[in-house]
Amino acid sequence: MYARRRHAYFLLMGVCLVLFVSSWAFVRLWSVPAAVAMCLVAMAIPPLAAVVANRRGPEDRWWDAPSGDPQSDEWWDELDGKKKPGGKKKPGGR
């Protein structure tokens, strides 16, 4: 799923670059308003590309969802501060 999102991101950003460069390279020679309109469309594409690239898919792990692997879940719980590192402490303060 990550590869599909990455491909969609690069496709959208490529379209953005093509619109921007072509608008001022040769479209402006025929119509300046069309070139400005192409730039406005190109301006709206990067935020959309960022949303597409960062969207969570149905099989992606959410930050607090257990993965099913006990060792991995224990590691994530430790990183999130839900569990203290090392498990139980030995009596006697050591």
Distances (CA, A) of 16 to 9, 10, 52, 56, 65: 11, 10, 14, 23, 35
CB 45 within 8 A of CB 12: yes
- Mean pLDDT confidence for 4-29: 93
Give the Cα separation of 73 and 62 in Å (integer). Answer: 12
CB 57 within 8 A of CB 5: yes
- Mean pLDDT confidence for 71-81: 78
CB 35 within 8 A of CB 24: yes
With a threshold of 0.75, does the pTM exceed it? no
Residue 73 — φ and ψ, nearest 5°? -65, -40
**Is residue 15's pLDDT more than 80?**
yes
The pLDDT, as a whole number, for residue 5 is 84
